[in-house]
């Protein structure tokens, strides 16, 4: 599962970032909001690069697309485990927002979202939601090519959440789809 999740997540994350970027450019054209160079500044701090007085479009794109692709791997892991659809994409959108905030705040480039102007916060939430759901749709489609994930198989045994539900027997977890070995050692 993990090998498939890596390439699927990179593809899904890049697709999500591309669609998010198109939406950002449209929104900026309509609102007049300038480009943000926070990704470039975060990358410079993380990589120990000198900070450039002029805005670095290349660094911005590397961090923007790189982070989107790498975080997409987690969404592909979710999809392969059987966490698919809008609920999973909602959970993943929170992860994407959190990864941004950890990197921005830990490097001293950003400030906690609760301190932002409300309009900026709403704009960021909308764009990250577009990323989360686009990445999710692509990851779900790629994972579905190999059938249901272990979580979906477990849910199919008995609808709903029940405290007395037993785990799937190892033999019923599709080989290579679970995070653990399908065979006991």
State pLDDT tens for residues 28-59: 999 999 999 999 999 999 999 998 877 789 99
The pLDDT value given to residue 52: 82
Q: Which of 3, 67, 60, 53 is nearest to 35 (CA)?
A: 60
Q: How confident is the model at residue 176 (pLDDT cuts 50, 70, 90)?
A: low
Q: How confident is the model at residue 9 (pLDDT cuts 50, 70, 90)?
A: very high
123 falls within a domain: yes
Tokens of 181: 């070995």
Q: Do the Cβ atoms of 92 and 120 come closer than 8 Å?
A: no
DSSP category for residue 6: H
pLDDT > 70 fraction of the chain, expressed in percent and rounded = 93
164 falls within a domain: no
102 falls within a domain: yes
179 falls within a domain: no
9 falls within a domain: yes
Tokens of 27: 């929104």
R_g of the chain computed on alpha carbons: 19
Q: Which of 13, 12, 30 is nearest to 123 (CA)?
A: 30
153 falls within a domain: no
113 falls within a domain: yes
The pLDDT value given to residue 41: 94
Comparison of pLDDT for 52 and 129, the residue scoring more:
129
Q: Do the Cβ atoms of 60 and 88 come closer than 8 Å?
A: no
Domain that holds residue 8: 2-147
- State pTM to two decimals: 0.88
Comparison of pLDDT for 173 and 181, the residue scoring more:
173
Q: Which of 64, 84, 83 is nearest to 17 (CA)?
A: 64
137 falls within a domain: yes
Q: How many separate domains does the chain show? A: 1
Q: Do the Cβ atoms of 139 and 75 come closer than 8 Å?
A: yes
């Amino acid at each position: 599962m993990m090998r498939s999740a890596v390439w699927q997540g990179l593809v899904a994350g890049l697709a999500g970032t591309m669609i998010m970027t198109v939406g950002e450019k449209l929104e900026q054209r309509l609102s007049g909001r300038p480009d943000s160079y926070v990704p470039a500044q975060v990358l410079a701090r993380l990589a120990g690069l000198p900070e450039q007085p002029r805005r670095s479009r290349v660094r911005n794109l590397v961090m923007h697309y790189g982070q989107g692709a790498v975080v997409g791997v987690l969404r592909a892991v979710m999809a392969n485990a059987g966490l698919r659809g809008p609920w999973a994409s909602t959970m993943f959108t929170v992860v994407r927002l959190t990864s941004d905030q950890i990197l921005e705040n830990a490097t001293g480039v950003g400030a906690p979202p609760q301190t932002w102007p409300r309009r900026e916060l709403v704009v960021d939430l909308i764009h990250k939601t577009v990323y989360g759901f686009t990445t999710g749709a692509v990851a779900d489609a790629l994972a579905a090519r190999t059938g249901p994930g272990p979580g979906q198989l477990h849910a199919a045994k008995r609808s709903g959440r029940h405290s007395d539900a037993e785990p799937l027997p190892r033999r019923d977890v599709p080989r290579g789809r679970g995070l653990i070995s399908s065979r006991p050692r």
